[in-house]
Amino acid sequence: MNLNQAFQEISEYLQIDINKLKEKYEEISKKYEGYNKWSHVTEEEFEEFIQNIRNPSQLRDFYANTKNYIFELMEYHATEVKSKMRKHCIEIMKEHNVKTVLDYGCGIGQDSIEAAEAGLRAIAYDLPGKTFEFAKWRFKKRNLNITSIELTSDEKLPEKYDAVTCFEVVMHTPDPIKVIQKIYQILNENGLLFFTARFKGYKLALEYNQKYAGKFDGIIQDIGFERIIKKHMWGPTNEDGKYLYVYKKL
């Protein structure tokens, strides 16, 4: 997927004129610098929202109701570095004979789409809301047999999986350690966890999760994983959030 294809899908789904959409993006591009332009729009919306919440459970409301996350994630997934990382992950899965992969916090579903297109059985897992509805529309549009499961409670998932992808998710959650413990439980023996997270330098990362910056690799291994890959993917080499981590369940 490139940026023009991303615009086309957003335009079709949200019934927005594609030329107006591109004009809006040009305005944003002139206003903001950096790797992902639309993320700044989401950040501004989030900063206003976070001032008014009273408990962590209300965070679900933001991710369920914002439309900006659709724009941000479509732009992000259209980048060359993200496309390169997806292809690299699928290569690793094939090398390890992965058959089933759960996309934990799937967002717009691009990782699930490319896993399914590569012949894997893909399961998309996320909070119910506008972004997940868009993901499911994208699956149907491509006629892909991707299972969609809504994260509505702490109930157990119906099966175990050969691999789980968890990209840019845990820093948004009230309890990142609990997320990894849950992933450990739903992986088959010797199952793989593909992981990225930015605990610092990203305004949607919860402030009280910054304590995990530089430490979360060790936490994941303490839970019962062995790190088998740490690969730099983009940006400064001294930031953990710029690396892809792959772990094997012991």
Tally of structural domains, the chain: 2
Domain end marker among 31, 58, 77: 77
Indicate the pTM of the whole model: 0.94
Q: What local confidence, expressed as pLDDT, does residue 207 receive?
A: 87
Domain housing 20:
3-77
Q: What local confidence, expressed as pLDDT, does residue 56 receive?
A: 67
Interval 65-93: pLDDT, tens:
999 999 999 999 999 999 999 999 999 99
Q: Distances in Å between the alpha carbon of 162 and those of 119, 166, 183, 230?
A: 14, 14, 11, 19
Torsion angle defined by CA atoms of residues 143, 147, 152 and 155, in that order, rounded to the nearest 10 degrees: 170
Domain end marker among 47, 77, 107: 77
Do 118 and 174 lie in one domain? The reply is: yes
Q: What local confidence, expressed as pLDDT, does residue 197 receive?
A: 95
Q: Nearest-CA neighbor of 162 among 94, 229, 233?
A: 94
Domain end marker among 77, 98, 126: 77
Low-confidence ranges of the chain (pLDDT < 50): none
Do 90 and 201 lie in one domain? The reply is: yes
Do 19 and 58 lie in one domain? The reply is: yes
Helix (H, G, I), strand (E, B) or coil at 147: strand
Residue 178 belongs to domain with CATH number: 3.40.50.150
Do 88 and 58 lie in one domain? The reply is: no
Q: What local confidence, expressed as pLDDT, does residue 59 receive?
A: 81
